[in-house]
Chains A and B, each alone.
Chain A
Amino acid sequence: MDTAHFVIDKPERWDSSFDSDMTEADVNRLLEIRPFSEMNSGKFSKRTPLRGILKNDARIRRFKNGEIIVRAGDYGSSAFLVLAGNARVVLDPGLPVSLLGQRKSQHKSLFQIVAQLWTNPRDPEVRTPAELEQDTGVKVGGEFKGVFLQDVPRILDEHLTATMSPGDFFGEIAALSRSARTSTIFAVGDATEMLEIRWQGLRDLLRFDDHLRHHIDRIYRERTLATHLREIPIFRRLNDEQLKRVIEQTQFGTYGDYDWSGDYKRLVKEGTRSPEKETIIAQEGDYPNGVVLIRSGFARLSQKFGHGHRTLNYLSAGSQFGLREIAHNWAHKDTVPFQHSLRVIGYTHVIVVPAPVMEEIVLPTVPRDQLPEFFTPAELAGTEQSESQQKLDAGAKIGPELMEFLTENRYFNGTSTMVIDMERCTRCDDCVRACASANEGNPRFLRHGQTTGRIMVANSCMHCADPVCLIGCPTGAIHRGQTGGEVVVNQATCIGCSICSNNCPYEAIRMVEIREEDGAFMVDKDMKPIVKATKCDLCSDQLGGPACERSCPHGALKRMDMNNLDSFAKWLQR
């Protein structure tokens, strides 16, 4: 019997290039420019040659006078090299939000809140001209839908800036460590030309070229690492000389998949999520060769249990792993191996301070009473739990099933996750009605979502610690608010491209066709409907906080910071 086979080509790395308009001539030109002219193309692998990286993972962009290239607070996934012209980086203090195309955080007045009784429109998704009006200091538009500063001379007069000239490289730290851009950089003059390299290309350039890697490592050590280490209590007592020595020997590591949200969505659809496949950063039972400091992303802390691993906690940016073991080994003659395993969840960027550096430089500066608790024979034998272990074991506080549920579904990312206690929820939908009332008749969440035991995590924006929705927004319309760090969408600058909605792994952003006040759909000049991204903004313009939480008569709904599992445990046992 004949069987028909559906045959497709195996997907290749560069099936989708960054910019299909990149030509061989462009690549030849780039290869004559530093740092590419200094790179040894022989060091690159055959699958990812230097030419291929430049052709497929990079693009040449031309910016007009005043056009913002990167903006402080945005999450970007690419780095820039100045090819021609000039750009200016705005030094501290940065530009006000009104000049950056972001929404000003402001609460409604009491009268405006009461007036919602009669001003809420009858039709869904109505936008007033005032809501769509862009700030006077900014204009959205242009070839790449960019954001333009309107009065560049005045900005140059009133703000401290530094010039970036051809050959200067920027944006690489934010792209690789998945952190927010620290400064705003805009083009000066109409002849500014930039090479934009997406993170995949940047990663390969770093892998095969020592020169660029050393350059970026140096910048990272100089600009970021000292500040970061100074924020960690155990490193606070180091003098400048000691800190310099620590920084010199510190190693960096990037694990997992930068684009984990896309992969995660695919795995969810396929139903093949598997925590066992997570990359191991440090393994239980191994010799502790360094303290691991989580710089960005998340990692799962687990311990062997039967034939599997039990999740104790998940570690996020600012957490450390292995310090207790190394401190114990430094103070005692016996050697304690890692007591837990550390696995990547999605994407994790870590800093590793080697054990000899800790023992020789760092630990001697720490007073005895501020060292971590040492292991006792009983704890190592597994017959008792220390206070440190109890503190770490969030799984015991909220229950192992809930812990695994939160981890496998990546809910640890949420700083305001909507959790509903289904044993208290009467399904009255007061929360949904309250949300709609506070958002001009448009509910911004679904009282529906993944459930385990008595807990449901509703489909609502969680205002993630690692907001992947922010990556790639061409106008920066989706951004963090200035007051509570909530993720909000500026309706004036949102161009309806759906990148944020597609990036969100939790299906919490909805694209809607907007209407005028008379109920008619708004259309562009081609008569296509105007689409905007909408999501929960934690009622950031209302007084009193999220309406959903306040309106629940049975206290069944709570916005929880999933990085504070102690308060979650307390809420569960209320």
Chain B
Amino acid sequence: MSGFVRRRLLWGSLLLAATLAVISAYARWAGATTREAYLSGWVLFGLMVLLTGYNWFKKIPYLPMGRSEVWLQFHIYAGLFTGVLFLLHVRGRWPTGWFEIVLTVLYVLVMVSGVLGILISRGWPKRLSARGGEVPFERIPIVRRQLREQAEALALNSVAEARSATIAEFHARRLHAFFAGPQNFLSHVFEIRLPLNALLNELGDLNRFLNEQERKVTAQLVTLVRQKDGLDYQHALQLTLRLWLFIHIPVTYSLMLCALAHIVLVYGFSAGVR
């Protein structure tokens, strides 16, 4: 059995055991007390505080608190376990009050962004490696500028050399915007080649109006277009790999603030409840 399967089995078993334990315990509490929502609420909130703490843990790596990899596994499975607690806490019903709806929507956003984040964190590095030509994220604007300048130089020089502005016009019309910044973000994310193929077809169609010398220039432009497309692919995927946390973390803090307010409101309006 590989280490990967063993780890998943271990964490999965722990999650299953915790789920079964909490469901059976909750059934007993529900019969014994009317305040079971308080108990599930506090456990849920405590776990959420622990989960939020992972972000802080990452900021103090010099503290000897074990490997981040293990803490992330805990974060994932404890995060899934909050789903069980949340369902128990709301008794499987969709909330009716606007504040509770906000709270639920925030919780769902945190959960969904977390699950999506883990899915792309596990899958997309393979896509980046398989595509090749990787450029560190910080260097992407520099490489993009170099490609843009090369394309501009080719287009401009072709005017003087071939005494024709066909390529320069095409550059101004189609390529200038393509090289100016990141393009086709969603196409890259969903692995769709349509925009690239369309541009390459247009460049191919242009050849019928070009002489031999100009065709050599378009061949060079095709190479640059492919390189820029690869760069955009790297940009789209690397940006998303970084950006999902910019959704997950702020929404988490919003959820924590709302949860705090929820606790205050619950206790503020709980007079007479036994």
**Chain A residues at the B interface, C-beta cutoff of 8 Å:** 113-114, 116-117, 422-428, 430, 433-434, 437-438, 447-448, 451, 453-454, 539, 542-544, 547, 549-556, 573-574
6 inter-chain pairs at a CB distance below 8 angstroms, sorted by A residue, are A422-B125, A428-B242, A430-B58, A437-B59, A552-B68, A556-B125
**Nearest 5 Cβ contacts at the A-B interface:** A544-B64, A434-B61, A555-B69, A543-B64, A553-B72
A117 and B125 within 8 A (CB): no
The size of the chain B interface, using a CB distance under 8 A, is: 31
Contact with A along B51-88 (1 / 0, CB 8 A): 00000001111111111110110000000000000000
Determine which residue in B61, B67, B124, B128 has the highest number of CB atoms from chain A within 10 A of its CB, and name it: B61
B64 and A448 within 8 A (CB): no
Choose among A425, A426, A430 the residue that contacts B68 (Cβ–Cβ < 8 A).
A430
Choose among B60, B68, B72, B238 the residue that contacts A117 (Cβ–Cβ < 8 A).
B60
For A555, the chain B residues whose CB sits under 8 A away are 67, 69
B60 and A553 within 8 A (CB): no
CB distance from B82 to the nearest CB of A (A): 19
Choose among A426, A547, A556, A573 the residue that contacts B62 (Cβ–Cβ < 8 A).
A547
For A423, the chain B residues whose CB sits under 8 A away are 125-126, 129
A425 and B125 within 8 A (CB): yes
B62 and A116 within 8 A (CB): yes
Knowing A428-B241, A554-B121 are in contact, say whether A454-B129 is a contact too (CB < 8 A): yes
Choose among B62, B64, B66, B125 the residue that contacts A427 (Cβ–Cβ < 8 A).
B125
B136 and A554 within 8 A (CB): no
Choose among A113, A543, A554 the residue that contacts B69 (Cβ–Cβ < 8 A).
A554
B3 within 8 A of A: yes
For A570, give the chain B residue with the smallest CB separation: B3
For B4, the chain A residues whose CB sits under 8 A away are 574
**Complex alpha-carbon distance, A427 and B121, angstroms:** 9
Contact with A along B221-234 (1 / 0, CB 8 A): 00000000000000
**Complex alpha-carbon distance, A428 and B62, angstroms:** 18
Choose among B3, B59, B71, B124 the residue that contacts A574 (Cβ–Cβ < 8 A).
B3
Residues 114-151 (chain B) with a chain A CB within 8 angstroms? 121-122, 124-126, 128-129, 134, 136-137
Residues of A contacting B: mostly? loop
**Complex alpha-carbon distance, A573 and B238, angstroms:** 25
CB distance from A461 to the nearest CB of B (A): 18
For B213, the chain A residues whose CB sits under 8 A away are none
For A426, the chain B residues whose CB sits under 8 A away are 121, 124-125, 241
A437 and B61 within 8 A (CB): yes
**Complex alpha-carbon distance, A453 and B2, angstroms:** 21
Choose among A113, A424, A428, A549 the residue that contacts B63 (Cβ–Cβ < 8 A).
A113
B242 and A422 within 8 A (CB): no
For A539, the chain B residues whose CB sits under 8 A away are 62
For B130, give the chain A residue with the smallest CB separation: A423
**Complex alpha-carbon distance, A192 and B2, angstroms:** 65
For A451, the chain B residues whose CB sits under 8 A away are 134
B61 and A551 within 8 A (CB): yes
CB distance from B243 to the nearest CB of A (A): 11
Determine which residue in A428, A430, A453, A553 has the highest number of CB atoms from chain B within 10 A of its CB, and name it: A553
Supply 20 further A-B pairs (C-beta < 8 A) apart from A544-B62, A554-B69: A116-B62, A117-B60, A422-B128, A422-B129, A423-B126, A424-B125, A426-B124, A427-B241, A428-B245, A433-B61, A434-B61, A437-B60, A437-B61, A542-B62, A544-B63, A547-B62, A550-B67, A551-B58, A554-B122, A555-B67
A553 and B125 within 8 A (CB): no
For A110, give the chain B residue with the smallest CB separation: B64
CB distance from B128 to the nearest CB of A (A): 7
Choose among B2, B59, B61, B69 the residue that contacts A438 (Cβ–Cβ < 8 A).
B61
For B72, the chain A residues whose CB sits under 8 A away are 553-554
Knowing A427-B238, A427-B241, A428-B241 are in contact, say whether A574-B60 is a contact too (CB < 8 A): no
For B234, give the chain A residue with the smallest CB separation: A427
For A551, give the chain B residue with the smallest CB separation: B61
